[in-house]
Homo-oligomer: A and B are copies of this chain.
Amino acid sequence: MNDASHPSKPAFPQPVSGTVVPRFGDVATFMRMPLFRDPADVEIGMVGVPWDGGTTNRPGARHGPRQMRDLSTMMRRVHHVTGVAPYELAKCGDLGDAPVNPASLDDSLERIETFFTKIHEAGAVPLSAGGDHLITLPIMRAIRKGLPPLGMVHFDAHSDTWDTYFGGYKYTHGTPFRRAVEEGLADPKRMVQIGVRGSMYSADEKDWAESVGIRIVHIEEFFRLGPDAVMAEARQIVGDGPVYVSFDVDGLDPVYAPGTGTPEIGGFSTAEAQRMIRALDGLDLVGGDVVEVAPPFDPSGNTALVGATMMFEILCALAPAVHRRKNRMRRL
A interface residues with partner B (beta carbon < 8 Å): 17-29, 35, 48, 50, 52-60, 62-63, 65-66, 69-70, 74-81, 83, 85, 94, 96-97, 99-105, 107, 162, 164-167, 169, 171-172, 174, 197-203, 205, 218-220, 223, 253-256, 258, 262-267, 269-271, 274, 296-302, 305-306, 309, 312
Assess the A200–B21 pair: CB atoms within 8 A. no
Q: Given A21-B97, A48-B25, A270-B265, is A77 in contact with B172 using a C-beta cutoff of 8 Å? A: no
The complex places the Cα of A78 from the Cα of B19 at a distance, in Å, of: 40
Q: Which residues of B contact A267 (CB under 8 A)?
A: 271
Assess the B26–A48 pair: CB atoms within 8 A. yes
Q: Given A62-B59, A266-B271, A296-B58, is A102 in contact with B26 using a C-beta cutoff of 8 Å? A: no
Assess the A19–B107 pair: CB atoms within 8 A. no
Q: Which residues of B contact A59 (CB under 8 A)?
A: 52, 59-60, 62
The complex places the Cα of A218 from the Cα of B80 at a distance, in Å, of: 9
Q: Closest B residue to A20 by CB, please name it.
A: B166
The complex places the Cα of A94 from the Cα of B26 at a distance, in Å, of: 10
Contact of A296 among B19, B60, B220 (CB under 8 A): B60
Assess the A80–B265 pair: CB atoms within 8 A. no
The complex places the Cα of A202 from the Cα of B14 at a distance, in Å, of: 12
11 A-B residue pairs with CB within 8 Å: A19-B56, A22-B166, A23-B56, A24-B50, A54-B103, A57-B74, A60-B296, A101-B169, A102-B166, A199-B312, A297-B300
Q: Given A28-B28, A50-B25, A54-B103, is A203 in contact with B256 using a C-beta cutoff of 8 Å? A: no
Q: How far is the CB of A277 from chain B (nearest CB, A)?
A: 11
The complex places the Cα of A24 from the Cα of B294 at a distance, in Å, of: 12
